[in-house]
């Protein structure tokens, strides 16, 4: 097993968190940052920052800190966010319509190349971002032709599994699923389920525990 394969998933997630304040500091702050300062900005401890970065080599100078530009460049290289990625979104309801026009996606290199919906009343409609909503039945052919790498699913839950199959048939290598079901994969495909209701349930559980202690 390679060294990269042993890296914990929480470490990868934290690298993305580290990159956010570094991007701001690159424009507004000093050229160097300490692990303690970076940890404080990200809500972790300095030892965790140093441990996470150590998986990928030697960064910074002891007693001085990290060069912000170099560290951000290294993190983007590790996360593969130093290149553009092609996306499609399936489900043009409120969430899908909001995501397809997100300037933040584009700023970070995630380019939405296609939008789909199964509602005939929506297909053919031109969005303000310039895309035209296509029929969900054309997903496999369209994503293959456009060389789309990542699919986002924002459909009603009962449509999600069928949509996932169509995306995989078209060659999509990763799916971000915003519905409330856990989709299955028949091919080699990375699935990330992002059920927002689960996040809420985690929040209210901890909120209830605080109320009990209070």
Q: What is the pLDDT of residues 159-175, one digit of tens each?
A: 999 999 999 999 999 99
Q: 125-165: per-residue pLDDT in tens?
A: 999 999 999 999 999 999 999 999 999 999 999 999 999 99
DSSP label at 118? S
Measured in whole angstroms, the distance separating CA 208 from the mean position of its chain's CA atoms is 29
Give the sign of the dihedral formed by CA 89, CA 90, CA 93, CA 95.
Answer: negative
Q: pTM, whole model, 2 decimals?
A: 0.86
**pLDDT of 3 higher than 60:** no
Q: What is the pLDDT of residues 78-102, one digit of tens each?
A: 999 999 999 999 999 999 999 999 9
Residue range 173-183: mean pLDDT, rounded:
95
CA distances from 151 to 117, 142, 147, 168 (A): 13, 12, 11, 9
Domains in the chain, CATH or no CATH each: 4-77 (1.10.10.10), 85-198 (3.40.50.720)
């Amino acid at each position: 097993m390679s060294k990269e394969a042993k890296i914990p998933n929480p470490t990868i997630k934290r690298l993305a968190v580290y990159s956010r304040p570094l991007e701001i500091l690159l424009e507004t702050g000093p050229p160097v940052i300490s692990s303690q300062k970076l940890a404080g900005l990200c809500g972790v401890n300095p030892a965790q920052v140093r441990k996470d970065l150590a998986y990928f080599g030697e960064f910074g100078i002891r007693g001085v800190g990290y060069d912000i530009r170099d560290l951000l460049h290294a993190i983007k290289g590790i996360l593969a966010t130093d290149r553009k990625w092609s996306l499609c979104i399936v489900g043009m309801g409120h969430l899908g319509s909001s995501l397809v026009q997100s300037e933040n996606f584009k700023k970070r290199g995630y380019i939405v190349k296609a939008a789909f919906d199964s509602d005939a009343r929506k297909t053919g409609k031109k969005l303000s971002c310039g895309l035209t909503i296509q029929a969900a039945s054309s997903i496999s052919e369209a994503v293959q032709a456009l060389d789309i790498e990542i699919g986002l699913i924002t459909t009603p839950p009962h449509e999600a599994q069928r949509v996932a199959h169509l995306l995989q048939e078209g060659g999509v290598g990763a799916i971000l699923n915003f519905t409330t079901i856990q989709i299955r994969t028949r091919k080699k495909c990375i699935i990330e389920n992002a059920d927002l209701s689960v996040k809420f349930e985690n929040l209210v559980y901890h909120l209830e525990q605080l109320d009990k202690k209070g």
